[in-house]
A = this chain, B = another copy of it.
Amino acid sequence: MIEAINLAEKLEQFDEHWSPKIVGELNGQYVKLAKFKGEFVWHQHEAEDELFYVTRGELLIQLRDGEVRVRQGEFAIVPRGVRHRPVAEQEVHVLLFEPRSTVNTGEQQGERTRSDEWV
C-alpha cells in the first residue's frame, strides 16, 4: 500500500537525539528522520554518501578543512570517505537519505552507535 508519510507526525514519535529512525525505503536506500542536539563523534562512511536535509533548526557539519552550515529548507551531501562531525547548537530536525548499509557512527562503532529502527 502506498501511503503519505507526514514528517511532523513521525518526529513526534521519538525524542532521543542522535538515533535516526527509518521512515521509508527505496532503491536500497533508507529515508530516516533524526533529532540532533550537541556534538556527535567524528566519523566517516567508507562506502556511503549521506544526505542531510534540515526541516527545523540549523545543522553545522564540521569537516577536516572547514565547515558547512545547513539551515532549514537546505540540504548537504557528505560524500563517502569524508570525515565529518555533525553539531547542533540547538535541537535540529533532519531527514537523512543514505544506503541501507549506513551505520550512524560510520567506522567509529561504540557507545553512540545505534541500530536501525522503523518509526
List the interface of chain A (C-beta within 8 A of B).
Answer: 2-8, 24-27, 29, 31, 48-51, 55, 61, 63, 68-71, 73-79, 82, 97-99
Cross-chain contact B5 with A76 (CB below 8 angstroms): yes
Closest B residue, CB atoms, query A99: B27
Contact residues in B for A26 (Cβ distance below 8 Å)? 49-51, 77, 79, 97-98
Most chain B Cβ neighbours within 10 Å, of A50, A61, A73, A79:
A73
Bound-complex Cα distance A97 to B24 (A): 12
| Known contacts A2-B63, A3-B76, A4-B71; is-contact A27 B24 (Cβ 8 Å) | no
Cα–Cα distance between A94 and B99 once the two chains are bound (Å): 22
Q: How many copies does the complex hold?
A: 2
Given contacts A6-B71, A24-B51, A97-B97, 17 further A-B contacts (CB under 8 A): A2-B61, A2-B76, A3-B68, A4-B70, A4-B71, A4-B76, A5-B74, A7-B74, A7-B75, A8-B73, A24-B75, A26-B79, A26-B98, A27-B98, A29-B97, A31-B51, A55-B73
Contacts of A99 in B (CB 8 A): 27
The interface residues of chain B lying within 8 Å CB-to-CB of A74 are 4-7
